């Protein structure tokens, strides 16, 4: 998947666009005290008023699997900072479970691909991730401006899909 917000929006629309809002769970992963590692929680903050299930899983998503399973979701969308290599800060890609273990993730104590696979097996949901290349991971609070701009654009895409395209 190339880095184009229109492509990301198209994929999201295809994968969650026909589902009931209550059956889609967004899970933000990251540490708010590590700069751009807060990508997941920051996006959850931006979308929480527009989606029924927006979970800030911090850097321990395995601690939230029970809560996610109780929702009985049809789709689970993780949001996380992902090191894609030599791509610029803000590069965004849909990451499948099979790809998640191949990228250098940031501060997780437990392998995120294992959590994603577990939830897929337990719920039967479509599980995938929106990965965003961080600008910097450091001992600082707050995300960089380029990342904040990218997250605002992703948030608008999610809100548009939820407000216009999902079943009620």
- Could you read off the pLDDT of 150-164 as tens digits, one per residue? 999 999 999 988 876
Label residue 18 by pLDDT band (50, 70, 90).
confident
Q: Which domain holds residue 55?
A: 5-163
Give the 3-state secondary structure of the chain: CCCCHHHHHHHHHHHHCCCEHHHEEEEECCCCCCHHHHHHHHHHHHHCCCCCCEEECCCCHHHHHHHHHHHCCCEEEEEEEEECCCCCCCCEEEEEHHHHCCCEECCCCCCHHHHHHHHHHHHCCEEEEEEECCCCCCCCCCCCHHHHHHHHHHHHHHHHHHHHCCEC
In contact, 27 and 53? CB cutoff 8 Å? no
Residue 123 in any domain: the answer is yes
Overall number of domains in the chain:
1
pTM, to two decimals: 0.90
Cα 168 from Cα 162, distance rounded (Å): 9
Residue 35 in any domain: the answer is yes
CB-based contacts of 97: which residues, under 8 Å, 6+ apart?
A: 113, 116, 117, 120, 127, 128
Mean pLDDT over 110-123 rounds to 92
In contact, 10 and 118? CB cutoff 8 Å? no
Share of the chain above pLDDT 90, in %: 69
Share of the chain above pLDDT 70, in %: 89
Place of tokens 């939830």: 119
Cα 24 from Cα 109, distance rounded (Å): 25
Q: C-alpha distances in angstroms, 24 versus 32, 76, 92?
A: 24, 6, 20
Query: What's the CATH code of the domain at 135?
Result: 3.40.50.1450
Residue 168 in any domain: the answer is no
């Amino acid at each position: 998947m190339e880095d184009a917000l229109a492509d990301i929006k198209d994929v999201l629309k295809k994968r969650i666009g026909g589902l009931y809002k209550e059956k889609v769970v967004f899970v933000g992963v990251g540490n708010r005290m590590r700069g751009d590692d807060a990508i997941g929680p920051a996006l959850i903050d931006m979308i929480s008023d527009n989606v029924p299930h927006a979970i800030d899983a911090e850097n321990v998503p395995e601690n939230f699997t029970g809560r996610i399973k109780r929702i009985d979701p049809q789709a689970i969308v993780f949001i996380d900072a992902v090191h894609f290599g030599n791509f610029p800060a803000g590069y965004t890609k849909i990451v499948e479970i099979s790809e998640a273990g191949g990228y250098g993730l940031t501060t997780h104590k437990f392998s995120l691909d294992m959590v994603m696979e577990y939830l897929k097996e337990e719920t039967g949901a479509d599980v995938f991730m929106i990965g965003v290349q961080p600008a910097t991971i450091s001992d600082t609070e707050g995300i960089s401006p380029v990342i904040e701009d990218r997250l605002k654009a992703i948030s608008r895409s999610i809100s548009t899909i939820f407000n216009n395209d999902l079943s009620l």
